[in-house]
Amino acid sequence: MATEIRIGRILGIPVYLHLTFLIILPLFVYLFSAPQTQVRIFGMPMTFTDLDADLWVKYAFGTAATLIFFLTIFTHELAHSYVARSYGVKIRSITLMIFGGVSSMEDLPRNPGQEWRMAFAGPLSSLAIGVTSLLTMYAIDPIISESMIGEGIVILLGLMGIYNLLLAGFNMIPAFPMDGGRVLRAYLASKMPYMEATKKAARVGRYFAIGMGIFGIFTFNFFLILIAMFVYIGASEEEQAVTVTESLHGVPVKQLMIGAVQVAHPDMTVQQLHELMLATGHMGFPVVDSALLGIVTHAESVKVPRESLGIVRVRDIMTRNVVSVDPDMDSSKALRAMYDSKVGMLVVLDHGALVGIVTHKDFIRAVNSALAQRHVMRWGEQFPPQPPPSSPV
Ligand SMILES: [Zn+2]
């Protein structure tokens, strides 16, 4: 099932709406429009509850506020993407989802000077929007707040101002996956190796998360506890992702691929395929007749019902989407290609000739042996390895 809807393209970047976004949209409209109790921050109303107007007018303002708010979140994402692109990073997409926006981009810069600018661009744009909204509000408040519509606009500007300042502040928390965590890592990476900088920044992120969580428990703030968990997991994932890419970096695919490839024939039954798996210990095979037709892995073969094992053929279940890599390609890039195309196996082609295959298992083995050589803790059985995450909000 598709969890994202494509809504358009801005600056050549495809923009998606995640389903979770569609779920929270009505919730935000309600929270901004006319909830029972007025919410105030620094004395400013954050809802249209007290506006002297019909309920439908309050909801119209609430809907406008919701749409504009997400537009400002989108601008924050666009700022990251814009700076990243100016450094030559390819932006695949921007997705709006429950936690805000996510920019999906190719490998992030390993250049501290570029990374901190890219991370800082988002909060800076939120800060600019926040300050501009508040200044505009103070400027026009005495002129238009006599009318009901004018008062609504003043509330709208105050709300945008405050929430964008909060967005800027929240994202500058020095914890992954917040932008502040990336700024901190970039700062540390200018003084020490990238992996060490990531470990240190991830540790700071976890301390922050624990502090936030404890504070959330004592103040019964469920939302804060949720964010604390999000930050804790994010910090650990970032650390793991960097560990994986650093371990695979500089290792050519040919070093971890399985050569002397066993192949499956498209007319083979699934029963025969299982026997081949048992005999060879491999969980996936290229499907070859006179040419390479596809790949078949254990994931597809286990879906065949037991009574049909002798009837269904490999050609019926194989994946025709073959992702091939060059034997000299960097393994970290190959892992990325595997994730992006959501296949269980890569085929290694040398000038068109099949020379090997690479599966998840081979990546894990390579990472573990790299870690063992460095006498660090085993990264172990956490499966599957993760590529570097995209940067959220
Ligand atoms: Zn951001």
Expressed in angstroms and rounded, the spacing between residue 181 Cα and the centre of ligand 1 is 10
Buried/exposed 251-269: b ≥16 CB within 10 Å, e otherwise: bebbebbbeebebbbeebb
What is the average pLDDT score of the chain? 83
Q: Which residues on adjacent β-strands are paired with residue 18?
A: 4
Q: How far is CA 44 from CA 58, 128, 154, 202, in A?
A: 17, 19, 10, 36
Instruction: Indicate left, alpha or beta for 329 from its phi (over 0: left) and psi (-120 to 50: alpha).
Output: beta
pLDDT at 379: 39
Identify the helix (H) or strand (E) that includes residue 93. strand 91-97
Ligand 1 center to 48 CA (angstroms):
28
> What average pLDDT does the segment 367-393 reach?
52
Find the 120 Cα to ligand 1 centroid distance in Å.
Answer: 8
- Overall average pLDDT of the 16-29 stretch: 84
Ligand 1 centre to CA of 69 (Å) is: 15
For residue 41, report the distance from its CA to the centre of ligand 1, in Å: 23
How confident is the model at residue 297, as a pLDDT?
85
| Dihedral (CA of 280, 286, 288, 294) sign | positive
List, by residue number, the catalytic residues.
Answer: 77
18 φ, ψ (degrees, to nearest 5) = -85, 150
pLDDT of residue 385: 47
Tokens of 280: 């060879």
Distance 1 CA to ligand 1 centre (A): 28
Per-residue pLDDT of 306-363, as tens digits, reads 888 888 998 888 888 888 888 888 888 888 888 777 777 888 888 878 888 888 788 8
Tell me the pLDDT band of 105, cut-offs 50, 70 and 90.
confident
pLDDT, residue 377, reads 40
pLDDT top residue among 367 and 289: 289
pLDDT of 147-160, one tens digit each?
888 888 998 999 99
